[in-house]
Amino acid sequence: MSDPILSVKDLRVEFATRSGPLRAIDGVSFDLNKGEVLGFVGESGAGKSLTGTAVIGLIDPPGKITGGEIRLEGRRIDHLSIEELRRIRGREIGMIFQDPLTSLDPLMRIGDQLIETIITHVAVSRTEARARAVKLLEDVGIPAAAERVMSYPHEFSGGMRQRVVIALALAAEPKVIIADEPTTALDVSVQAQIIALLKKLTSERGMAVMLITHDMGVIAQIANRVAVMYSGRIVEIGPVADVVRQPAHPYSMGLMGSIPSLHAEHARLKQIPGSMPRLTALPAGCAFSPRCERADARCKVERPALAATGMTTSACFHPVTSTVAEVAG
């Protein structure tokens, strides 16, 4: 297997607060291979977005990467200068945010926003950048692209705007795209189109994608592997089919319960009681242990590391190894 395009090792992100640092990302490691779509799922506040912003170097103070390393094609990028990081953003790693309605500068024609992005990263003339801008709009499926470059963002619908956002993120042909809930703000009818578009574009261009979402359906549709996050850690990672069908971590099992249609017997799983602990009150051992039916004394004091468990890799002392029925017992 070839080297991963993006490799994150033991990433740690902390927020400096008056009462000491809050560890929001704690020891996250994963590899993203060329052409691969790696999904990130987990409850709100699990640290999915923060992982993405850390990779692209956009964490706002008081947040800070305080440990670990991020490598892009083998080269460390987590401690580059501001200017070096800027050149990587858009050019090597692109990012798409949740809300297409607010992601575009309302006062600038979308063509100019595209041209500006292209010229920032690629040594081309304005005319050529303009031709590329039209081509990009065509690629993302905007009708009459040659005329639409002159339009302002408010002249597009939400779905069309998200297509423009995708065109902008792809403008300088990055190798990695971080898509943070790219469809959450859109109408259900449009969501599937945008996901299909993302899938098509990234596979055509051989781009690797970090796809952050709450929607397991979306993951099942386009991701190759999926990472389940909980309290700033990856608790399980593996091929989508395996994580969905045979999750090893009790938390993943609970999550998969939210998509009964994918796997009928999970429909019987009850909702996970309780909620994710706040960063200020993290338990000593496994962060999920207070909500876990399988937790024992060890789980409360010792933190499990990621290890191969059945088909996937998970961080649990008592992984669900064979059938779902075991949970009940």
Partner 1 sequence: MLAFLIRRLFEAALVMIVVAIVAFTLFRFVGDPVSQMVSQDATIAQREALKAELGLNDPLIVQCAHFIWKSLHFDFGISYKFREPVVNLLGQRMPATLELAAIASLFAIGIGIPLGVYTGINRDSLLTRVIMAGSLIGVSLPTFLIGILLIYLFAVTLHWLPSYGRGETTSFFGLWQTGLLTSGGLRALVLPAVTLGLFQLTLVMRLVRSEMMEVLRTDYIRFGRARGLTNRAIYFAHALKNTLVPVITVIGVEIGTLIAFSIITETVFQWPGMGLLFIQSVQFADIPIMAAYLLLSAVIFVTLNLVVDILYMLIDPRIRVAVRA
Ligand X SMILES: Nc1ncnc2c1ncn2[C@@H]1O[C@H](COP(=O)(O)OP(=O)(O)OP(=O)(O)O)[C@@H](O)[C@H]1O
User: Binding residues for ligand X, per CB under 6 A?
Assistant: 15, 22, 24, 42, 44-50, 63, 279
Tell me the C-alpha to C-alpha distance, in Å, between residue 147 and each of 35, 128, 151, 152, 227. 32, 16, 8, 11, 41
Q: Which residues contact 86 (CB under 8 A, 6 or more apart)?
A: none
In 3D space, the residue among 189, 188, 177, 108 whose CA is nearest the CA of residue 149 turns out to be 108
102 binds partner 1 (CB under 8 A): yes
Q: Which of 69, 73, 116, 173 binds partner 1 (CB under 8 A)?
A: 116
- The option from partner 1, ligand X, Mg ion, none interacting with 172 (CB < 5 to 8 A, set by class) reads partner 1
Min dist CB 13 to ligand X, Å, is 8
Min dist CB 69 to partner 1, Å, is 21
In the bound complex, which residue of the shown chain has the CB atom lying closest to Mg ion? 49
184 binds Mg ion (CB under 5 A): no
Between 79 and 278, name the residue whose CB sits nearer to Mg ion.
278
- Write each residue from 17 to 56 as x if it is in contact with partner 1 (CB under 8 A), else as -, in one continuous string: ---------------------------------------x
Between 85 and 262, name the residue whose CB sits nearer to partner 1.
85
For the chain, count helices (H), then strands (E). 12, 12
DSSP helix, strand, coil percent of the chain (3-state; round to 5): 35, 25, 40
Tokens of 324: 């779902």
- Write each residue from 150 to 169 as x if it is in contact with partner 1 (CB under 8 A), else as -, in one continuous string: --x-x----------x--xx
- The option from ligand X, Mg ion, partner 1, none interacting with 279 (CB < 5 to 8 A, set by class) reads ligand X
Q: Which residues contact 6 (CB under 8 A, 6 or more apart)?
A: 31, 32, 55, 70, 71, 72, 93, 176, 208, 210
Q: Which residues in the 117-156 window bind partner 1 by CB under 8 A?
A: 117, 120-121, 152, 154
Q: Which residues in the 32-61 window bind Mg ion by CB under 5 A?
A: 49
Q: What are phi and psi of 26, to 5 degrees?
A: -135, 100
- The option from ligand X, partner 1, Mg ion, none interacting with 117 (CB < 5 to 8 A, set by class) reads partner 1
The answer to whether the beta carbons of residues 230 and 279 sit under 8 Å apart is no
Min dist CB 211 to ligand X, Å, is 13
- The residue type found at 163 is R
Tokens of 300: 């409360």
Tokens of 64: 């800070």
Min dist CB 19 to Mg ion, Å, is 24
Min dist CB 310 to Mg ion, Å, is 29
The answer to whether the beta carbons of residues 138 and 56 sit under 8 Å apart is no
What is the contact surface with partner 1 in residues (CB under 8 A)?
Answer: 56, 58, 86-91, 94-95, 97, 99, 102-108, 116-117, 120-121, 152, 154, 165, 168-169, 171-172
